[in-house]
Structure 1
Amino acid sequence: MAFINTAGKRDGALARLLHTTLDALRERRAYNAVYRQTWRELSALSERELADLGIARSEIGALSQEAAARALHRR
């Protein structure tokens, strides 16, 4: 009777899955941190300050997303 030991292969796959999942969570957390910081700082500006920068208040969300994406790609 022959036995096949595949426990090592499954453990490796599980470790890779866990590693990949944790990397994705870290990346998302970093993205969210930059997004929130950018949104908070731009939201604190007055209408006049935003106008001086050429930014409408309605653009703050999109600009925050762009800043977070750029910060993530620099890593």
Structure 2
Amino acid sequence: MTSVDSTLGYEQARDELIEVVRSLEAGGTTLEESLALWERGEQLAKVCRHWLEGARARLDAALAEQPEGTEG
């Protein structure tokens, strides 16, 4: 992840990724523009994956700390 991408929050990265996908689906871009959009989408997907993996690790750690037989 680049330093710029690491400053993006999950919601920011997700929203930008949605826009990238919409642009690619709409077409009307040159091959070079499409490639640049694809590359940006890959970067944004990595950011989202990073945030989600961190959230899963936190959730797993919290669940591991609960005494057996208790919920929430």
Normalised by the size of structure 2, how large is the TM-score? 0.51
Stretches of structure 2 that go unaligned for 5 or more consecutive residues are 1-28
- Counterpart CA distance in 1 for 2:55 and 2:39 is 25
Q: Which whole-Å deviations, capped at 9, do the CAs of 1:7-66 have from their partners, x for residues lacking one?
A: x9232112101111011111111111110000011102222xxx2317xxxxxxxxxxxx
Q: What does residue 12 of structure 1 align with?
A: 33
Q: Which has the higher contact order (CA 8 A, sep 6+)?
A: 2
Normalized per residue, which structure has more helix? Answer: 1
Which of 37, 40, 52 lines up with 2:70 in the alignment? 52
Q: Give the counterpart letter for 1:33 in structure 2.
A: G
Does the residue aligned with 1:28 lie in a helix, a strand or coil? helix
The count of corresponding residues between Structure 1 and Structure 2 is 44
Percent of matched pairs sharing the same residue? 16
Aligned CA-pair RMSD: 2.0
Normalised by the size of structure 1, how large is the TM-score? 0.49
Moved over 6 A (4+): none
